[in-house]
Amino acid sequence: MTLGIQVRNVSMQYSDEVKALDDVSFDLQGGKIYGLLGRNGAGKSSLMAVMAAFRKPTSGEVLVNGQPVWENPAVTREICLIREAADTVEHSEPVEAALDFAAYMRPNWDMDYARQLLERFEVSERTKINALSRGKRAALWVILGLASRAPITMFDEPYIGMDAPSRYIFYDEILNDFMAHPRTIIVSTHLIEEVARLFEEVVIIDRGRLVLQEDTDTLRARGVAVTGRVEAVDQVVNGMPILNTRQLGPTKSVVIYGDLDPERRSLARSAGLELGPVPLQDLFVHLTGVREDAE
Amino acid sequence: MTTFDDRSPIYRQIAEQIKADVLSGALQEGDQVMSTNQYAAFYRINPATAAKAFQELVDEGILYRRRGVGMFVSEGAREALRAERRARFYPEVFEPMVAEAKVLGIPIEELIERLRALVEEDER
């Protein structure tokens, strides 16, 4: 059985001025890989900390299959949150002590898998944690998350400090282990292009608020680049949300957000305009409010 | 390894690739197709995405599912795909080519001549 998560009207206020989360609500079904996307400071880490019951929200609550997570060990045992300030043994201890601690804490811990991962990421069990390079330390946190096999596993920007080959090992392991042991996995990131294809669904937050929750492929299909003669392009995109405009002589290319209705489509076709796809990262940039002219 | 461009839905690109393999004969009718999980691992994509590609092909009758065994290429899939491509050939390939020739000022007679030469070369 996989565990789903319900986030109910969660707000988090750190001080009078700073509202990290503002009435966020969404449901995640169990057994999927989710991407939690947001710019730096959007509230990703606060949200994950609340979902893992590391922090109590100022208001609202998080439920796992109907049970509140806050001060509920039966539920929190099933949740593993991996973040840079990792919750493990003293960093003066060797790597193997971190594995032993995880084995003690995590009901589904798989020590063989953890050792296999150490080998893949080339991390030695005997090395002290504080003697590991930044990238190897990030690999260790990732290993603690993967081998926990927790029904809900969350990674908060796990790749920071990892080089590209290590990141790809991480992506491969997430996928393969997810297929072998289906569970709910949530990865927060602002590096979208590299990981987006792992996500079945994405949740986008901005300035503490939920922007959208969407099937990744559906979101990808949301953007359209319309290219052709200036007047024809202007006519087709008139009144639609525009992400980006470029012009070269008599040719204009406009990126819009949303579906072109059949009328606009046929107008585009008869005017010989080209309709093309848009990278997910561009859609994300639009949805989280950074416009070209604001940079 | 094939990399997908990250813009159009990946499942559609996978579906197109499988169709291309059926058309070229790389996948024969009755052949088993790799599993959703094998596709997902190979292309580093979410298995649900790969499953969508298969569903699309099942809906189109290109693949069929045998419970507990896997996915197979349907009888007649190749011919169906060829018919579909043939229907698209004139509007999508031929007519744009003629339009391009016009823009470039290439006379139609020259096109016909070239076409004949190509076919004769092919027959030799």
Shared domain check, B101 and B49: no
* pLDDT above 90 as % of chain B: 60
In a domain, B2, yes or no: no
Angstrom distances, CA of residue B89 to CA of A14, A176, A289, B83, B93: 62, 40, 43, 10, 5
- What would the two tokens of residue A184 be? 């709910």
pLDDT of residue A130: 92
Shared domain check, B42 and B55: yes
Architecture of domain A222-276: 2-Layer Sandwich (3.30)
Rounded mean pLDDT, B95-115? 91
Beta carbons of A179 and B4 less than 8 Å apart: no
Cα distance between residue B117 and residue A233, in whole Å: 41
**Residue-level length of chain B:** 124
Average pLDDT in chain A: 91
Partners of A171 on chain B (C-beta within 8 Å) are 44
Tell me the nearest-neighbour CA distance from B84 into chain A, angstroms: 21
CATH number, domain of B31, equals 1.10.10.10
Partners of B46 on chain A (C-beta within 8 Å) are 33, 175, 197-200, 216
Residues of chain A predicted below pLDDT 50 = 291-295
Chain A residue at shortest CA distance from B42? A172
Residue B2 has pLDDT above 80, yes or no: no
Which of A175, A178, A215 to substitute to test the interface with B, most B CBs within 10 Å? A175
Shared domain check, B53 and B26: yes
CB pairs under 8 A between A and B: 56
- Reference A199, options B37, B56, B44, B12; nearest CA is B44
Beta carbons of B7 and A175 less than 8 Å apart: no
Shared domain check, B71 and B14: yes
pLDDT of residue B8: 60
Residue B1 has pLDDT above 60, yes or no: no
Chain B residue at shortest CA distance from A170? B44
DSSP string, A48-79: HHHHTTSS--SEEEEEETTEE-TT-HHHHTTE
What's the domain range around B115? 78-123
pLDDT of residue A200: 94
Shared domain check, B82 and B69: no
pLDDT of residue B3: 43
Tell me the nearest-neighbour CA distance from B82 into chain A, angstroms: 25
In a domain, B119, yes or no: yes
In a domain, B3, yes or no: no
Delimiting residues of CATH 3.30.70.2020 domain(s) in chain A = 222-276
pLDDT of residue A1: 67
- Helix %, strand %, coil % for chain B, to 5? 65, 10, 25
Delimiting residues of CATH 3.40.50.300 domain(s) in chain A = 5-215
pTM of the model: 0.83
Beta carbons of A196 and B6 less than 8 Å apart: yes
Shared domain check, B31 and B15: yes
pLDDT of residue B4: 46
- Which residues of chain A have a Cβ shorter than 8 Å from any chain B Cβ? 32-33, 168, 171-172, 175-176, 178-179, 193, 196-200, 216-217, 220-221, 276-280
Partners of A176 on chain B (C-beta within 8 Å) are 41
Shared domain check, B17 and B38: yes
Total count of domains within chain B: 2
Domain final position from B54, B75, B96: B75
Shared domain check, B103 and B70: no
Shared domain check, B68 and B15: yes
Check if the beta carbon of residue B48 is closer than 8 Å to that of residue A200: yes
Rounded mean pLDDT, B79-87? 93
pLDDT of residue A293: 42
Q: In what order do the strands lie in the sheet with A242-248?
A: A242-248, A251-257, A223-229, A274-276
Domain final position from B35, B51, B75: B75
ipTM value for the complex: 0.75
Q: Which CATH superfamily is domain A5-215 in?
A: P-loop containing nucleotide triphosphate hydrolases (3.40.50.300)
Shared domain check, B53 and B37: yes
Average pLDDT in chain B: 88
Tell me the nearest-neighbour CA distance from B123 into chain A, angstroms: 37
Shared domain check, B119 and B69: no
In a domain, B102, yes or no: yes
